[in-house]
Amino acid sequence: MMNLCLLRGVVLLSALLLSESADASKAAVPVAAVPSMSHRREAVLQSSSLQSSPLLRLSGGSVSGASALQQRTAVLAPRVVPTEPHEGQKPGTSGLRKKTKVFQRPNYLENFVQSIFDSLPEGQLNGATLVVSGDGRYHNAAAIQTICQMAAANGVARVWVGVGGLLSTPAVSAVIREREGGVAVGGIVLTASHNPGGPDEDFGIKYNVQNGGPALEAFTDAVHKRTNTLSEYRISDQLPEVDLSIAARHVFTEVTGEGAAAAKRTFEVEVIEPTEDYVALLRRCFDMDAIRTLLRREDMSVVFDGMHGVAGPYAKAVLCGELGLPSSCLHHCEPSETFNGGHPDPNLVYAHELVATMGVTAAGGAAPSASSAPVFGAAADGDADRNMILGRGFFVTPSDSLALIAAHAHLIPWFANAGGLKAVARSMPTSGAVDRVAAAQGLPFFETPTGWKFFGNLMDSRLLGGATLDPLLCGEESFGTGSSHVREKDGLWAVLAWLTILAEHNRQTPIGALVGVGDIVRQHWAHFGRNYYARYDYEGVDANGAARVLERLRGVSAMFTLAGHGPDRPQPLGTSGCALATADEFEYHDPVDKSVSKRQGVRLLFADGSRIIFRLSGTGSVGATIRIYLERYMPATAPAEQLALETADALAPLINLALELSQVHELTGRDAPTVIT
């Protein structure tokens, strides 16, 4: 198949010309044929054609070759290493996450990486470019060296690695899609996202496909299946370690044979500037001049918390380098292997220093210190794909953040230049706030399971023969927001979206009368109504206890149906004042590739629009995490005081009902949630 590149607005002829150029460049780098393994790889296509489709590229991006060139001879011949399967290598919501010490077991990382390679379409890696980087957590650098050696042994011609082994998760997507017009076949991302890092904490690995997004379930299921039968892996373990501390091209050459029969093979590891492609993309997404005008106001102040994750270098490049903010606005922006001993999850509990700085209480209300707090605050998680937005004494729920961005999408050049926003999507547990914005604007709306991979199919719908849904805005209640500029959620993108909104609301506002984050959100509630929302997390519970909770709830759903209840005959529940209209388990039928995802969470939907959702999270590394989502809608026509309740007070009847129906405390032995957000 020709290796075409999709350039927005360019005709197919241009793509064909690019294909010839790409093929010519590949021909200049001979690659030895990869011998067959005892179990040949099965060609598993991503959502019909995402993994092998040639039409999933963007224009722009950096061009390699300007970095310092270091050439060496090396032994590239692969060694075939016998191995045995490791139990439990089943990817969760976003890749495989385990304790670091599990990944350090002999052959554990190697088995999973080889299973990824074996599950790709036949021949896709031969002569290919692969992205390999991570969030900088403990074991990141060592894992990168191993994966580079395995990539060489499996036919890859070139690997791109960020300086220091660092690339944020959204930046990996940007590099895959943008760099050299989008020649990379995919990327291996080393992250456990918002989980802690360190020798005794968490590590993770996932594969992103050619469109820059996480692999869908058809592929991850194939990888898991392969891990159960793997008997050998391939590694070029005589390849020298690569210096990841500085941008450079490391070209290794092996010559075999003599005279006319001599054969030359090269393998390259290019260490690239981690922010280059990503920042260039953000310049195309936003009106940086408008944001700079806002930030120059004497009554405007900003603080950003990188939580000692990979977001730090990107915040420096964007907030300071592009927008001119002083470095003093950056907190905890030096990446640390252990996240400085913290938990890099941007919520009211773990980002407590930022929360206190912004004059916000642990419950999300205004603290007495709010009047002297900065105007705008934000945080990102370990791999910089999640975000938390705060105003002076004001916490913006992720669900409200998504709805506010949707209502202001016309201000964002990325959307406006494409003719406007085409669709919005949210994960099922996320509140219905954005639904009302979509309805008001006449936009298609999609409700998906949790996991960013489901949004990727919608973004690429037109390329796969479906409707045009790009540009698309999407988000999850777990502090994830983004758009189709990449195929991952994007923490800094959300920060710039909010600064864009603030800039518009203050274009003509006199100094001293600045419209803040809380003012804008309250205006939104006055127009669309308010979705009171909270999430209870019970982390690291016994897996059997968690399973009993879900089975009990499935029983509640079955009894509800057997009793003949439904939307036309809701069931009153005791003294709660709630009438249950629907009790089911969410099942998603993908409108693009027609795949079906079952058992995505038990839903209790009430006649007044309130919801209680129960699901098991797939992002932990030990035990199980039970998540309970609670939502109550208050229409804009309600009395003003009903739109200004404390969230805990507004949700109290639902909270009590959820605990009673699920028996979560009795079945797990827990007396309280680990985190409430």
State the catalytic residues.
193
212: left (phi over 0), alpha (psi -120 to 50) or beta: left
- By CB neighbour count within 10 A (0-12 exposed, 13-18 middle, 19+ buried), where does 110 fall? buried
Between the alpha carbon of residue 258 and those of residues 31, 72, 263, 390, the distances in Å are 17, 19, 8, 66
Smallest CA-to-CA distance from 2 within 157, 229, 183 is with 183
DSSP state of 38: S
**Rounded Cα–Cα distance for residues 33 and 303 (Å):** 53
H helix and E strand count, the chain = 19, 28
The SS3 of residue 452 is coil
Question: What letters, b where the CB count within 10 A reaches 16 and e where it falls short, cover 260-284?
Answer: eeeeebbbbbbbbbbbbbbbebbee
CB atoms within 10 A of CB 301: 16
- Give the H/E segment covering residue 91: none
DSSP state of 619: -
**Rounded Cα–Cα distance for residues 414 and 398 (Å):** 21
| C-alpha torsion sign, points 275, 476, 409, 376 | negative
CB atoms within 10 A of CB 90: 14
Question: Residue 1 contacts by C-beta under 8 Å, 6 or more apart in sequence?
Answer: 52, 54
- By CB neighbour count within 10 A (0-12 exposed, 13-18 middle, 19+ buried), where does 544 fall? exposed
**Rounded Cα–Cα distance for residues 143 and 133 (Å):** 9
- Please report how many Cα atoms fall inside a 13 Å half-sphere around the Cα of residue 547, on the Cβ side: 4
CB atoms within 10 A of CB 662: 24
